[in-house]
Amino acid sequence: MSSAATGTPEIPAAGHVPARRPADGRRPRRGKAIGPWWKRMNFVGGLGAAVWLVIVGVPLYFLFVPSLRVSADYLAKGPLSPPNNLTVGNYATIMRSEFPRYFVNTIIVTLACVAIVLALALPAAYAIVRSRKKSVSTAFSVILLGLAVPAQAVILPLYLLITKAGLYDTLLAIILPTAAFALPLSIIVLTSSLRDVPAELYEAMNLDGAGATRALFSLVIPLSRSALATVGIFTAMQAWNGFLFPLVLTQSSSVRVLTLGLWDFQGQFGQNVPLLLAAMVLALLPLLVVYLVGRRYLLAGLTAGSGK
């Protein structure tokens, strides 16, 4: 019979010290740090964070603040001097130039490359994961070889192919090679992501009478959104920052992209550095926005398949 039933007080066991409670009857909080705040600080971590902030902040300061200054003030006081007499005249000058056309061309190239890569890489990765044919595994091995071939090594044969196809000096001359060189890595990322999809889900789809196409759209695409976002962001960055293909495969200003258009803001005997930095800021903003919006999906896609 328990002591509560008999009304007698419960006697603690030997060596056991009962926990004290405050006068108001509430339990004391556990795990609360004890001691002054300066003893709980991680000075090494804070110092490392401060150093990293300086390493990242100084280039951003050098990029953005001088773009709001005139060239004479920049040359007289240096790039890291405190800002004064800021102006947006450099940005107005850029918008009156051919920069908007280069910006639109770059957007067209980027969106087309992302669409082509996603449309080809996802079915290829789906076939690699679900098929047991030896020909599919052989094709996957050939795709992996694409990672070992740099664009500089095949630029001359590529130039001949583009010229023979009549695509020289067009946006397609930039889009097709850029998408082709982005496919191997994209297929690898999507393959790693699709391997995480449980086989039981595919079996459930088969029991419901769904074929391979319906499983692709109803099961694979919703579960691989993080990997698709990762592939889209990497492809967009590669297309947006591409320089070799636009340089070799285009010539006229009507199809010029931003990476080549920045040369328009350099003079023969000197250059207006604040004007050039303002153009670089405008060229950087879309990528920064895309990264800030999709960074959660980017990190999730990069870690796909790491648990296996």
pLDDT tens, 34-68? 556 666 677 777 888 888 888 888 888 888 888 88
Judgement on whether residues 62 and 178 belong to the same structural domain of the protein: no
Amino acid at 127: A
What is the arithmetic mean of pLDDT over 245-269?
84
Check whether residue 261 and residue 157 sit in a common domain: yes
131 has a pLDDT exceeding 50: yes
Structural domain contains residue 52? yes
CA 61 to chain CA centroid, nearest Å? 22
Confidence of residue 301 (pLDDT cuts 50, 70, 90): low
The answer to whether position 28 is within a domain reads: no
**119, 230: one domain:** yes
The answer, yes or no, to whether residue 7 has pLDDT greater than 60, is no
Structural domain ending residue among the three candidates 59, 87, 115: 87
* 164 lies in the same domain as 114: yes
Domain shared by 58 and 136, yes or no: no
CA nearest 247: which of 234, 262, 259, 265? 259
Q: Is 29 within a domain?
A: no
Residue 24 lies in a domain: no
Same domain, 237 and 146: yes
Whether 80 and 194 map to the same domain: the answer is: no
> Where residue 178 falls among pLDDT bands split at 50, 70, 90?
very high
Residue 18 located in a structural domain: no
Q: pLDDT band for position 308 (50/70/90)? A: very low
Residue 55's domain spans which residues? 44-87
Residues 154 and 242 occupy one common structural domain: yes
Does residue 17 fall inside a structural domain?
no
- The pLDDT tens digits for 17-33 are 455 555 555 555 555 55
For residues 207 and 155, membership in a common domain is answered with yes
pTM (2 decimals)? 0.77
Closest CA to 107 of 306, 287, 297: 287
Number of domains in the chain: 2
| 72 shares a domain with 164 | no
Whether residue 308 lies inside any domain: the answer is no
- 194 and 123 within one domain: yes
Cα separation, 135 vs 129, in Å, equals: 13
From the list 249, 268, 267, 247, the residue with the least C-alpha distance to 258 is: 247
Does residue 153 fall inside a structural domain?
A: yes
Structure tokens given for 295: 């960074």
Q: Predicted confidence band at 167 (pLDDT cuts at 50, 70, 90)?
A: very high
CATH classification of the domain holding 118: 1.10.3720.10
Q: What is the mean pLDDT of the chain?
A: 81
